[in-house]
Amino acid sequence: MILRNFRRVLYPYNTDIINSTTISFSEKRCCGDTTPYAKKGL
């Protein structure tokens, strides 16, 4: 649905772009664990 929205937005702008737009999710390079650093502190 979101991709469709993005394509709709671009539709009047450039039809070549619409047909080739990708929106994706990546789990790589996500970190939220502060424990090792908080423990190491001072």
Partner 1 sequence: MVDVLIIGSGGAGLSAALAAKEAGASVLVVGKMYPTNSQTSMAQGGMNAALGNVEEDHVSLHIADTIKSAHGLCDEDMVRHMCADAPQTIAWLETLGMPFSRIEASHSDANHNSSLLTPHSSLKSVAQRQLGGASAKRACYAQDYTGLKLLHTLYDTCLKEGIAFLDEHFLLELIVSGDTVKGAVVLDIRSGEIKQIDAKSVIIATGGYGGIYHGYTTNMYGVSGDGIAAVLRAGGAVSDMEFVQFHPTGLKHSAILMSESARGEGGYLVNSKQERFVDELKPRDEVARAIFEELQKGEEVFLDLRHLGEEKLMTLLPQEVALCKLHEGVDPISELVSIKPVTHYTMGGIDVDYALEVNGIKGCFAVGECANAKVHGANRLGGNSLLEITAFGRFVGENAYKHAVYASSKPADNSVQHACQKKIERLFEQEAPIDFYTHRQALGRLFYENVGIIRDEVGLTQALEEVVATQVALKKMGIRDRSKTNNQNLVEFLEFENALMLAPTIISAALARKESRGAHYRSDYPQSDDAHFKKHIILQWKDKQ
- State the minimum distance, in angstroms, from the CB of residue 18 to partner 1: 9
Q: How far apart are CA 13 and CA 30, in angstroms?
A: 34
Q: How far apart are CA 7 and CA 20, in angstroms?
A: 9
Q: Which of residues 8-37 bind partner 1 (CB under 8 A)?
A: 8-14, 16-17, 19-34, 37
Distance, C-alpha 9 to centroid of its chain: 17
- State the minimum distance, in angstroms, from the CB of residue 41 to partner 1: 4
According to the binding rule CB under 8 A, does residue 5 interact with partner 1?
Answer: yes
According to the binding rule CB under 8 A, does residue 6 interact with partner 1?
Answer: yes
**The length of the chain, given as a count of residues:** 42
